[in-house]
Amino acid sequence: MSSCRWPRITKENRSTPFESQGIHAIGSMKRKKEIKKKPRTAKPPSLKSEPTHFSHALSQLILMKGLARSRSESQVQDVWMKVCDPECASQSRAMGIRNNVLHVGVSNAALLSELVAFHREHLLDELRRQAPQLKIKDIKFKVKGDLLHPKGTSET
């Protein structure tokens, strides 16, 4: 008597694991009849259009993506000056809008902390009210030490 735990295969119990699922040996005519080919779907008729000029296609892409919105730096800066008080406006500058977020540079960390903690929501509400076309969702502040003294000028 063998110590193998596997059952002995005889003619009576000989079958493949797939036969219990209705799949018989490779080449079996029964299996070939069960396989049905997917019906081929007709390809959509080709769109007959004339070639478009690259500049026209590019301008359409820019228009579709919404990249053509005029958000000039001066327009954003003007709105920022209207929204914040004169003291804050003299020490900060709107840097631009990216992904509907207004980026503002401030001259020092103390002003940054004050704006974030106490004035952010009010400024955001005012920006949305005065310039709804800008579609601003949030404001991000960043310390920019060169705001008080633009490049090329000195403090002397």
Between 15 and 61, residue with greater pLDDT: 61
Would you tell me how many other CB atoms lie within 10 Å of the CB of residue 76?
22
Between 20 and 55, residue with greater pLDDT: 55
Helix (H, G, I), strand (E, B) or coil at 139: strand
Distance CA 80, CA 76 (A): 6
CATH (domain of 121): 3.30.300.180
* Tens-place pLDDT, residues 106-150: 999 999 999 999 999 999 999 999 999 888 999 999 999 887 655
Q: What is the pLDDT of residue 147?
A: 76
**Domain region containing 79:** 73-143
Whether 156 is in a domain gets the answer no
Whether 7 is in a domain gets the answer no
Q: To which residue do tokens 């892409």 refer?
A: 61
Please provide residue 32's backbone torsions phi and psi, each rounded to the nearest 5 degrees. -65, -35
Whether 97 is in a domain gets the answer yes
Q: What is the pLDDT of residue 32?
A: 53
Whether 12 is in a domain gets the answer no
Whether 14 is in a domain gets the answer no
Helix (H, G, I), strand (E, B) or coil at 10: coil
CB 54 within 8 A of CB 60: no
Q: Which amino acid is at 18?
A: F
Whether 152 is in a domain gets the answer no
Give the count of domains, the chain: 1
* Tens-place pLDDT, residues 74-100: 788 899 999 999 999 999 999 888 899
